[in-house]
Chain A
Amino acid sequence: MTKQYEFHNRGLPYLLVLPQMIIIFVFFFWPAFQALIQSLYIQDAFGLSLIFVGLENYQKLFQDPLYLDSILLSFKFAIAVAFTAMVIALFLAVQANKKIVGRTIYTTMLVWPYAVATLIAGVLWMFLFNPTVGIVSWVLKQMGYDWNFLVKADQAFFLVTLASSWKQISYNFVFFIAGLQNVPTSLIEAAAIDGGGPFTRFWRIVFPLLSPTTFYLLIMNLVYAFFETFPIIHQVTSGGPNQATNILVYKVYKDGVINLDLGTSAAESVVLMLIVVGLSVLQFRFLERKVEY
């Protein structure tokens, strides 16, 4: 028998969730609604002229090859960041989960980068790889490699992916290690008795049991790469060279804040919003069903 609590006052629960609802309304629904409206207009920065254009801003976006490139690039970037950050974090978590000396220190150190502000992470990596004064660039130069991410598109993409992943590894690590600790030892022991080596044990037992964590992290990492990597892009490459690292969220910023082209920027943010809504729907549908194993 579970004890049932009843609220005799019908209004109380609503009152209790009200503050949260107000916050969500003011900071999420209202701006989202505004963006939706603005995306149907073109207007000057001061809002002195306002012309209704229907879906023209969207039409313009999807006819612009540069924008289509940016969508493709954002997905490429998000997948690269999520993959890199998750694979490395999982590897480190598995190692840290073993009975080794100094495990707590090791774990603590690995969580540290998460406390670094994204912007600072950007500055850090920029200095390491700066073609003039960077220590890594210097080493690469000694090895005869022509490192200049200010001109070379692939190198710039590699660098922002690396910097963004580094920041996210800690976050993934925490979840993976918690997930690993939830894997029942009895299952692993049973598998060992049946003759499964460490490799088989990991792929047949541990990894499937981790899949809810992995899936959750996948979505979080994708969302992170789509949105929160902004300071890194801003600091390291400003979207360049040419458009090599000009991901969607950076475009919204440039068109809206720097260029004051509000209609275009609003349409861009609505597209971004749809992508994230899509990701969230995916997450809920799959997590509800608990990823199968």
Chain B
Amino acid sequence: MKKILMVTVAMATAVMAFSQTTIEFWHAMGGKNGEVTEKIVSLFNQSQNDYKVVPVFKGSYPDTMNAGIAAFRAGNAPAILQVYEVGTATMMAAKGAIKPVYQLMQEQNEPFDPKAYIPTITGYYSTTKGEMLSMPFNSSTAVMYYNKDAFKKAGLDPNSPPKTWPEFFTVARKLKAAGYDAGFTTNWISWIQLENFSAWHNLPFGTKANGFDGLDTELVFNGPVQVKHFENLYQASKEGVFKYGGRENKANSLFTSGAVPLHFESIGGYGAMKATCKFDFGVAMLPYYPEVKGAPQNSIIGGASLWVMNQKDQRAYKAVAKFFSFLSKPEIQAMWHQETGYLPITKAAYELTKSQGYYKDNPGPEIAIKELLNKDPTENTLGLRFGFMPQIRTIEDEQWESILDGKVTPKQGLDEMVRLGNIKLREFERISK
């Protein structure tokens, strides 16, 4: 009798497990962001019984991407893989490995309106025809952070941060004169001072709509405006007004320690700034050169998106579609936005957050959204799509360091970045055909 009961129970569980489709979601969200990711997934799992998403933390962005690729090569790719923005071209080129999101939503008859999303965010992950290839997940953009206490100390108005680059350099020199180590620093020379800088001035970063229109794109970010900007940065560095803090986000400690009062960083770092800075700080839009026609345009994003990997089981696609719909809900997006500092991907989530009064105490994130929405994006400002992008960014960092060391002039450095970067683009074009 007991045996029969056990068998029945076992069979019942098997049936239940069978009817529920389980998919894996590999991500690179550690710490607080990882907690919120898991929370959203478990909310989805609780909201229905047919599908179960299993989140798996795979380490850093490159680690996660490599794990996904290795799994694909071994024939058991996860259904959802989080890939950082610079991996976009690699994923796109892998046509036999991925399922475009717009196609997936169509096939699964999942209500899906691309217009509900913020265009500068989805644009980065869409074709030029507006077909969304991957689902934006954590998106950020570059903003200026400034130390309000330092502004007061230097006799500047803490409520009017500099708007243009000429104003900015004047303010930075005043702050340096007021006794600070330097006037300003910056993270991500590549992403902020070149990629976002070019978009903000509506200048092309590469031909073929920044690579959106084809693999035969070429880098063109060594134009006169960028050269002039780099000359100004170099000049400021020579005077000690600019202080280089290292690659990627290594300059943060210069700002958070109070040593340098102006800084450029992702809005994704807003929460961390709030937790570490012992002074009052503000967030402002990126400065621009007023003589450049059309500036300021709009900034571009950084962060990562979710790619759907080809699956053998059709039900897995259904599960992904349902999960993506859930993820796009305003209340989920608003929660994600408020708890992590990353930007909401839909306009509705932005409106909801606004109505909840969140921006009254946290004006920073709203400034980032306004920067992205500043104007309708042009072909120069939808985003970037270049293969071997991590390598191109390294080339930029390297040449930039040579410029700072006075080994090459800013113009020579930028020309060399473009030359070496184009070699990489040709290599990528060749392997992606």
Q: Are A260 and B69 in contact (CB under 8 A)?
A: yes
User: In the docked arrangement, what's the CA distance between A42 and B65, Å?
Assistant: 19
Q: Are A132 and B254 in contact (CB under 8 A)?
A: yes
**Contacting residues of chain A (41-91) with chain B, CB-CB under 8 angstroms:** 42-49, 51
- Which of B90-98, B143-151, B271-279, B314-322 makes up part of the contact surface? B90-98
A-B contact pairs, 18 of them (CB 8 A): A42-B427, A46-B97, A48-B95, A49-B432, A49-B433, A51-B431, A132-B181, A132-B259, A133-B253, A133-B257, A150-B244, A151-B405, A238-B247, A240-B398, A242-B405, A242-B407, A255-B391, A258-B390
Q: Are B431 and A44 in contact (CB under 8 A)?
A: yes
Question: At the interface, yes or no: A259 with Cβ under 8 Å from chain B?
Answer: yes
Size of interface on B: residues with Cβ below 8 Å to A: 40
Give the residue name and chain of the A residue nearest to B97 (CB): A46
**Contacting residues of chain A (114-151) with chain B, CB-CB under 8 angstroms:** 130-133, 148, 150-151
Q: Map CB proximity to A onto B5-46 as digits: 1 under 8 Å, 0 otherwise.
A: 000000000000000000000000000000000000000000
Give the residue name and chain of the B residue nearest to A246 (CB): B398
Q: Which residues of A contact B253 (CB under 8 A)?
A: 130, 132-133
Q: Which residues of B contact A44 (CB under 8 A)?
A: 90, 93-94, 431-432
Size of interface on A: residues with Cβ below 8 Å to B: 32
Question: At the interface, yes or no: A152 with Cβ under 8 Å from chain B?
Answer: yes
Question: At the interface, yes or no: A243 with Cβ under 8 Å from chain B?
Answer: yes
Question: At the interface, yes or no: B415 with Cβ under 8 Å from chain A?
Answer: no
Q: Which residues of A contact B69 (CB under 8 A)?
A: 45-46, 260
User: In the docked arrangement, what's the CA distance between A132 and B245, Å?
Assistant: 8
Question: At the interface, yes or no: A113 with Cβ under 8 Å from chain B?
Answer: no
Q: Which residues of A contact B433 (CB under 8 A)?
A: 49
Question: At the interface, yes or no: B2 with Cβ under 8 Å from chain A?
Answer: no
Contact A257:B405 (CB < 8 A) given known A51-B431, A132-B245, A132-B257: no
**Contact with B431, one of A43, A130, A243, A258 (Cβ below 8 angstroms):** A43
Q: Which residues of B contact A46 (CB under 8 A)?
A: 69, 72-73, 94, 96-97
- Listed from nearest, the 7 A-B pairs whose CB atoms lie closest are A241-B401, A259-B391, A46-B94, A242-B398, A242-B402, A46-B97, A242-B401
Q: Which residues of A contact B96 (CB under 8 A)?
A: 46, 48
Give the residue name and chain of the A residue nearest to B250 (CB): A150
**Contact with A150, one of B245, B257, B394 (Cβ below 8 angstroms):** B245
Question: At the interface, yes or no: B399 with Cβ under 8 Å from chain A?
Answer: yes
User: In the docked arrangement, what's the CA distance between A43 and B432, Å?
Assistant: 8
User: In the docked arrangement, what's the CA distance between A240 and B65, Å?
Assistant: 24
Q: Map CB proximity to A onto B226-267 as digits: 1 under 8 Å, 0 otherwise.
A: 000000000000000000111110100110010100000000
Q: Map CB proximity to B onto A213-257 as digits: 1 under 8 Å, 0 otherwise.
A: 000000000000000000000000011111100000000001101
**Contact with B94, one of A48, A238, A243, A255 (Cβ below 8 angstroms):** A48
Contact A243:B398 (CB < 8 A) given known A42-B430, A46-B97: yes
Q: Are B62 and A258 in contact (CB under 8 A)?
A: yes
Q: Are B391 and A240 in contact (CB under 8 A)?
A: no
Question: At the interface, yes or no: B397 with Cβ under 8 Å from chain A?
Answer: yes
Q: Are A261 and B257 in contact (CB under 8 A)?
A: no
Question: At the interface, yes or no: B103 with Cβ under 8 Å from chain A?
Answer: no
User: In the docked arrangement, what's the CA distance between A218 and B56, Å?
Assistant: 44
Q: Map CB proximity to B onto A13-32 as digits: 1 under 8 Å, 0 otherwise.
A: 00000000000000000000
Q: Which residues of A contact B432 (CB under 8 A)?
A: 44, 49
Question: At the interface, yes or no: A110 with Cβ under 8 Å from chain B?
Answer: no
**Contact with B401, one of A47, A150, A257, A263 (Cβ below 8 angstroms):** A150
